[in-house]
Amino acid sequence: MAHSPLPLSRVTQIARVLINKKIAALDGPLVLVQTATTDEIRRDIETYCLNWLVEEVSTSINTAAASGNASLMMIG
């Protein structure tokens, strides 16, 4: 009995799942993964999240460790 080939969209979906699983198994910080074919982006630009291409950096200093006195953080 011959098997009919999977449609390309299904193959692409399976490949994405396998790639995501490999990336999820990596050590280190979480890595955001997004994939979209050219045709998918043409149909819907929201398919590819452009906001994920922007890096956000924030710094937080816990002054409670110095009893709430931020000047104590400068000693040393």
pLDDT in tens, 1-38: 556 665 667 777 888 888 888 888 889 887 777 777 78
* Whole-model pTM over 0.75: no
Half-sphere exposure of 57 (CA within 13 A, CB side): 1
Supply φ then ψ for residue 72, to 5 degrees.
-70, -20
Q: For residue 69, report the phi and psi dihedrals to the nearest 5 degrees.
A: -100, 100
Q: Show Cβ contacts of residue 65 under 8 Å, excluding neighbours closer than 6 positions.
A: 73
**30 lies in some domain:** yes
Domain that holds residue 2: 1-54
73 lies in a domain? no
Share of the chain above pLDDT 70, in %: 68
Determine, yes or no, domain membership for 17: yes
Domains identified in the chain, total number: 1
Residue 1 lies in a domain: yes
